[in-house]
Amino acid sequence: METTPSNSPDSHDATDALDEQALYSLVRRETRDADEQAACLRDWDQVYEQLSPGQFEGRFMEIRFRGIQLFREVTNQSVHEEGLMRAGERVLGVPVAMQGQGYFCGRPITPDAIMTMRGGEALEFSAPEHFDIVAVSFPVDALTRYARDIEHREIEAELQNVAVLQATKTAVDEFRGFLLTALESVSRTPAMLQFAAMQKGLEHALLSSVVKAVGLVEDGRVPDTPTARHALVSRAQDYMRGHVDEPLTVEDLCRELAVSRRTLQYSFQEVLQINPVSYLRAMRLNGVRRSLKAADPARQSVQDIAARWGFWHLSHFANDYRRMFGELPSETLRGSAHPARLV
């Protein structure tokens, strides 16, 4: 199965920036041959050789958008892989399940290993039987810019000559769990990727998960006086108020204010006793509520409106919305068809 919708304007309101549509693709495949499995990763020049005897069975699922490739690959036989990944990319992957020992670029891997390589580097991977991996690939420029602007880190320098990351089990579990959740959530409702705001929100979440998984020392500097911290929070609030109709992210704020995520976190926590992620989520939830109350239930859905505001995990969104407003978003949308009247 493969789906690639066009990027034509949204039929409801072509002038609304939140309704801007964007290209994406979803691929699901089942294979019966190692060569077929190797071909699933488009733009990768690689060869798979089956090493253990028996009928080969493989599965592959991939989502692509904004140059990002999020995928899961399952094989039942031991396979040796060689080749090159697509140029200009950085990939990080983590096993979901495996039986036996694997080797990645000459290093042994365990179920709690995070593997990484950059496009142009030679791939050499011996996957054990019943191997299941989830991975994400980004354009190097996007990952570098994000790490530099948001975390004040040079991530490519940190990853130079690194093939298998050393991380705690907790960090690996969190990274693995996030990639699986993102892939599962989007694959259930892929149409929400048609919205540019949704793609932007998921892109930032994936970039954040990778930078966190790498886990090296980040810049811990924060404004050194209460006045400076209050001024930073005030600037952030002013920017948010001026862009109240946009699905802002913490990354947008960090770039606009030229501060790291950690600096913003400390300042918000001290001044407002709330972290910037929660503050922005509250603003976006209020934006969704305004959109739901103004919507036509016959023409618009909760899923589409949530996606326009960058909410990609629908069950989490619904829980957050109900906790904030005391009702489900579907109830707000239904109520928009029967607005209160003056009596």
> If we measure between CA atoms, which residue out of 2, 147, 151, 149 comes closest to residue 64?
2
Asked whether the beta carbons of 150 and 211 are under 8 A apart, the reply is yes
- Whether the predicted pLDDT of 10 surpasses 60: no
Phi and psi based region of residue 339 (left: phi greater than 0; alpha: psi -120 to 50; beta: remaining): beta
- Whether the predicted pLDDT of 54 surpasses 60: yes
| Structural domains in the chain plus CATH codes | 2-212 (2.60.120.10), 219-335 (1.10.10.60)
Higher pLDDT, 228 or 304: 304
- Whether the predicted pLDDT of 340 surpasses 50: no
- Whether the predicted pLDDT of 337 surpasses 60: no
Residue 172 to residue 339: CA distance in whole angstroms: 48
Between vectors from CA 181 to CA 38 and to CA 190, what angle results, nearest 5°?
A: 75
pLDDT (0 to 100) of residue 20: 52
> If we measure between CA atoms, which residue out of 190, 204, 200, 206 comes closest to residue 303?
190
At a CB cut-off of 8 Å and minimum separation 6, what does 254 contact?
149, 150, 260, 261, 264
At a CB cut-off of 8 Å and minimum separation 6, what does 220 contact?
262
Beta bridge partners of 225: none
Catalogue the E-assigned strands of 4-106: 25-31, 45-50, 58-65, 68-75, 79-84, 89-99, 102-104
Q: Which amino acid is at 248?
A: L
pLDDT (0 to 100) of residue 169: 87
Summarised one tens digit per residue, pLDDT across range 98-142 is 988 888 988 889 899 999 999 988 888 989 999 999 999 999 999
Question: Is 5 exposed, middle or buried, given 0-12, 13-18 or 19+ CB atoms closer than 10 A?
Answer: middle
Residues 23-39 have a mean pLDDT of 93
Residue 72 to residue 183: CA distance in whole angstroms: 8
DSSP annotation of 29: E
Q: Give the pLDDT band of residue 16 (cuts 50, 70, 90).
A: very low
Model confidence pTM above 0.75: no
> If we measure between CA atoms, which residue out of 254, 133, 263, 154 comes closest to residue 214?
154
From residue 249, alpha-carbon distances to 7, 123, 159, 198, 323 in Å are: 23, 35, 26, 11, 21
pLDDT (0 to 100) of residue 43: 81
Residue 102 C-alpha from the chain's centroid:
27
Residue 38 to residue 45: CA distance in whole angstroms: 9
Asked whether the beta carbons of 80 and 48 are under 8 A apart, the reply is yes
pLDDT (0 to 100) of residue 14: 29
